[in-house]
Amino acid sequence: MKKITAGVIGCGNISRFHFSGLAQAGARVKWVCDLQEAAARPWAERCGATWTADYRAVVQDPAVNTVVVTTPSRFHKEVCLAAIAAGKAVICEKTLAENPADALAIVRAAERKKTIFYTSYMKRFIPAVEQAKALLPELGPILSTHIRAHQPWGDLWTQAPTEGFFHKPRRGPSPLVASYGGGILVCGGSHILDLVCFFLGRPRRLYAALEIPKGRDYDLRAVALLETDHGPVHYEALAHPLKTVGFLRDGWDERIEINGVHGRLEVFSALWDQPEHKTSLLVHTDNRTGRAVEYRGAPVSPFDRALVFFCDNIRRGIQGAQDRRTGYDVDELIAHLKRSAQTHQAVDVKWKR
Ligand SMILES: NC(=O)c1ccc[n+]([C@@H]2O[C@H](COP(=O)([O-])OP(=O)(O)OC[C@H]3O[C@@H](n4cnc5c(N)ncnc54)[C@H](O)[C@@H]3O)[C@@H](O)[C@H]2O)c1
């Protein structure tokens, strides 16, 4: 088994979870890369790594076998393609790209080069989600699924912010869109589109509506009805001002409910950036026994679990159970949701791979 020698490209907010995951996975971080030295230096010191502002130095180092891409999504294509061309295994933050064509170009490049490639949709690694997936066959034929990401973003509905992360200046994008590429659909909504694919497979048809308040460049609500081979999915991503809703009463109200002939699975996820002390919940109601069983694990970071899974596979030289195309699937669904919302029409999902 080979050792993981990694370079991390992009040392902003999300990177701390990836550094933690790499440490959990026993990987050595040789390079940390960021355009801003101040963002990268503390990580370079902590990991005993070298800082560079030029990602090419990372991907050209023959000692590096794994590249973790945690830049804003608009840089993912350039960095991922360079790393793949250099034959590295790549773990890229979500969303994979700014559009499905770019996402597909990345996936196809990895397939052609036969390199290991993951888009890090870490919610698949929430213990309650993993356990729900394992229990899914217990439900028998699936009848209906409700999935929602209701996230507390403060009151962005009644007034447009005049400064800060959600402010849309006269020229250029809001900081939200510059960093993440969109509003609630791209931020929270992308994860639950990935979970739709994870639990039920790729949807074949959908109808969607998006709410983009006047004067903004981002949506605050995305609703959709998705048709899958396992029944309809009622989908909603919402940025809301409610501070004390949700199963932990902290405003985070993300849940999945899957109903089958033999029972129901309910997943309640916890605030994504506080995995160290907030745990998710799974409830399985078995229609045959009439019993409902609650599963509450210890708090554990899904990022750590994801990185351990990715690195174990990279060590063994296999792609493993997560397909390279995961990030493309979500980007294609986002594009179809937007098209449906613009045209007020239901659309067949035209998968290109
Ligand atoms: N999984 C999740 O739930 C989740 C949550 C938040 C963000 N994200 C994703 O993580 C990614 C990064 O988000 P963030 O919040 O850390 O953003 P951020 O703006 O805080 O950090 C990005 C960093 O990348 C650096 N950077 C930009 N271009 C670069 C380049 N060409 N080379 C080297 N460094 C470069 C910037 O200087 C910055 O320090 C985005 O794709 C975002 O969508 C995922």
For residue range 209-231, list pLDDT tens digits in order. 999 999 999 999 999 999 999 99
The verdict on 119 and 132 lying in the same domain is no
Per-residue pLDDT reduced to its tens digit, 322-345? 999 999 999 999 999 999 999 999
What is the residue with the minimal CA distance to atom 2 of ligand 1?
Answer: 94
Ligand 1 centroid distance, CA of 121 (Å): 14
Q: Is the CB of 122 under 6 A from ligand 1?
A: yes
Whether residue 59 lies inside any domain: the answer is: yes
Atom of ligand 1 nearest to the CA of 17: 1
Phi/psi region, residue 209 (left: phi>0; alpha: psi -120 to 50; beta: rest), is beta
Q: Is the CB of 119 under 6 A from ligand 1?
A: no
pLDDT reported for residue 276: 80
Residue 114 has pLDDT above 90, yes or no: yes
Ligand 1 centroid distance, CA of 267 (Å): 28
Which mutation among 34, 37, 310, 334 tests ligand 1's pocket best, with the greatest number of atoms within 8 A of CB?
A: 34
Ligand 1 centroid distance, CA of 180 (Å): 8
The verdict on 270 and 308 lying in the same domain is no
Ligand 1 centroid distance, CA of 328 (Å): 19
The verdict on 94 and 139 lying in the same domain is no
pLDDT reported for residue 272: 87
Q: What is the mean predicted confidence (pLDDT) over 163-170?
A: 96
CA atoms of 94 and 336, how far apart (whole Å): 18
Residue 283 has pLDDT above 80, yes or no: yes
Q: Is the CB of 72 under 6 A from ligand 1?
A: yes
Q: What are the CA-CA distances from residue 269 to residues 19, 53, 299 (Å)?
A: 22, 36, 11
Q: Is the CB of 33 under 6 A from ligand 1?
A: yes
What is the residue with the minimal CA distance to atom 5 of ligand 1?
Answer: 14
pLDDT reported for residue 1: 58
Domain extent at residue 218: 124-299+333-348
Ligand 1 centroid distance, CA of 210 (Å): 25
Q: Is the CB of 93 under 6 A from ligand 1?
A: yes
Atom of ligand 1 nearest to the CA of 78: 31
Name the pLDDT band for 298 (thresholds 50, 70, 90): confident
Whether residue 289 lies inside any domain: the answer is: yes
The verdict on 34 and 67 lying in the same domain is yes
Q: Is the CB of 98 under 6 A from ligand 1?
A: no
Report which DSSP code applies to 347: E
What's the predicted TM-score (pTM) here? 0.97
Whether residue 328 lies inside any domain: the answer is: no
CA atoms of 156 and 158, how far apart (whole Å): 6
Share of the chain above pLDDT 90, in %: 96
Which mutation among 8, 90, 93 tests ligand 1's pocket best, with the greatest number of atoms within 8 A of CB?
A: 93
Per-residue pLDDT reduced to its tens digit, 128-152? 999 999 999 999 999 999 999 999 9
- Output the domain CATH number for residue 139: 3.30.360.10
Q: Is the CB of 35 under 6 A from ligand 1?
A: yes
Whether residue 353 lies inside any domain: the answer is: no
Closest to 131 in 3D by CA, of 293, 321, 259, 261:
293
Whether residue 67 lies inside any domain: the answer is: yes
Name the pLDDT band for 308 (thresholds 50, 70, 90): very high
Q: Is the CB of 11 under 6 A from ligand 1?
A: yes
The verdict on 144 and 288 lying in the same domain is yes
The verdict on 178 and 100 lying in the same domain is no
Atom of ligand 1 nearest to the CA of 33: 33
- Output the domain CATH number for residue 20: 3.40.50.720
Q: How many folded domains does the chain comprise?
A: 2
Atom of ligand 1 nearest to the CA of 272: 3
User: At 155, which amino acid appears?
Assistant: D
Residue 32 has pLDDT above 70, yes or no: yes
CA atoms of 221 and 213, how far apart (whole Å): 10
Backbone φ and ψ for 287, nearest 5 degrees, come out as -70, -25
The verdict on 283 and 168 lying in the same domain is yes
